[in-house]
Structure 1
Amino acid sequence: MLSCLSARETTFIKDEIIFSYGETITGIGIVLEGSVHIVKEDFWGNANLMAECVPGDIFGEAYAINSTEPLEMNIFAASTCRVLFLEVSKILTVCPSACAFHNRLIRNLLTLVSRKNFQLNRKLEHMSKRTTREKLLSYLSMESKKANASTFTIPFNRQQLADYLSVDRSAMSNELCKLRDAGILEFNKKTFTIFEKND
């Protein structure tokens, strides 16, 4: 099936560019190992971390389907990673044997696209908050619910978290300290504990 889809597997080292701004692409990437960051920069070089892709996630699908549309972001390896690339034209064209594997692949890819849409909706929810404090609390509350625990570890370092929430890192660090001093949360590097509010 993989040969039918012109699949190729590539390993990238940390910080290596996978797809760059302005490039046109015809294939989607599926993360097999490691993690991939999708980052959009403005004219002045301010970064917005659009998404982190972990094993099982896909990226580049919207641009691969609309292959004349140039990328408006950079996609790079956040850690050493392995990525499987599939040509969209081969995915959307059922092979002559109409194999069950191909049909299953299309169903699985639609599931992944749906999951990615949920992730973007969650980010939009955080971004809709007006202040850095509200954005932090929205994000940390959701991570706590995902972990089903008041103590949890997030995937981002401080700069990545600031980029993800589109806030200034210094202002965010100050806000985290204020939240800690107010007894709302504690943190150690990427591990956070949030506390219930006392009435």
Structure 2
Amino acid sequence: MINIIKKYIKDIIQNDIFKKFTEEELYNFLKNIESSDIKLSKNEILFSQGQIYSNMCILLEGEVQLTNTDENGNRNVIDVIKPGNIFAEVFSFTSNKISPVSAVANKNSLIFTINTEKLLEVDFDVTFNKDSKDFLIKKYSIISNLMSTFADKNLILLSKIEVLSRRNIRDKIMYYLEIQNAKSNSKIFEIPLSRKDMADFLGVDRSALSRELGNLRDEGIIDFEKNSFKLLYNCLKYCKT
């Protein structure tokens, strides 16, 4: 585990929850909490919807997809996790720790996990030691940063609700592309989803999605090549609430 921390410390520290840490401080901190690394093969499941899971995770290598399945068996893509991203941090801090999603590796992946129950424990018996006080300060710095992360995740959830609230396939597609375009701040941008996953994310039929994308390109509204897209007009004029 220590070797993993050493190897990936520059990647781990890039996550916003470790703001104000130096690499040395973070390395020493992570050595003293309950953490582990998990290797997943492509299509391997890290945890399933409805499972109790007590770890927050940082993806170091690979790609992980978060999905859930509704009561009718329809699969919904919630998010695609890229290296450096944190996930499972929200529900792992809840009282029941029941996951609302499944996490599956899209490719061979390496994940760094921190047990949230251990992170919240306060070591009252060692608080009079200066080093222990510093440790507790860093611990609560992480918890404070997590509050900002929770707020950001809530905004992402609201964005998805906005996408799904669109009344037809065209408006859903265009609103989704607007969000991805804004994230990239570039005229040409990549979306993180395959066509099947994009259809699941938008809650539409895959063939209907492909047909509408073709229509939008034929009409000169968008252009695309595989997962690379370009908006040719301001799509807000096509997105109606």
Alpha-carbon shift at residue 183 of structure 1 (Å): 0.7
Partner of 2:178: 141
1:72 to 1:112, Cα distance in 2 relative to 1, 3 A: closer
CA contact (8 A) 1:24 1:67 kept: no
> Which has the larger share of helix?
2
Amino acid of the residue matched to residue 105 of structure 1? I
- Give the gaps of 5 or more residues in structure 2: 1-28, 127-131
Across the two proteins, how many residue pairs are aligned to each other? 198
1:107 to 1:142, Cα distance in 2 relative to 1, 3 A: same
CA contact (8 A) 1:135 1:165 kept: yes
Alpha-carbon shift at residue 43 of structure 1 (Å): 4.0
CA contact (8 A) 2:63 2:82 kept: yes
CA contact (8 A) 2:90 2:150 kept: no
Q: 2:209 aligns with which of 172, 177, 182?
A: 172
* SS state at 2:186 partner: coil
Does residue 48 of the first structure (1) align with residue 76 of the second (2)?
A: yes
In 1, Cα distance between equivalents of 2:169 and 2:196: 14
RMSD: 2.0
What does the per-residue CA deviation read over 1:4-38, in whole Å, with 9 as the maximum and x for residues that have no partner?
32100111122110001332112221222222111
- Give the gaps of 5 or more residues in structure 1: none
CA contact (8 A) 2:65 2:106 kept: yes
Partner of 1:60: 88
* SS state at 2:107 partner: coil
Q: 1:12 aligns with which of 40, 47, 59?
A: 40
Taking CA–CA contacts closer than 8 Å with sequence separation of 6 or more, which of the two structures ends up with the larger relative contact order? 1
In 1, Cα distance between equivalents of 2:232 and 2:210: 19
Q: 1:90 aligns with which of 105, 111, 118?
A: 118
Amino acid of the residue matched to residue 39 of structure 1? T
What does the per-residue CA deviation read over 1:113-133, in whole Å, with 9 as the maximum and x for residues that have no partner?
232222222212211111111
What does the per-residue CA deviation read over 1:76-123, in whole Å, with 9 as the maximum and x for residues that have no partner?
112222111111111112344131332332233333323222222221
In 1, Cα distance between equivalents of 2:151 and 2:84: 13
1:124 to 1:138, Cα distance in 2 relative to 1, 3 A: same
* SS state at 2:157 partner: helix
1:65 to 1:145, Cα distance in 2 relative to 1, 3 A: closer
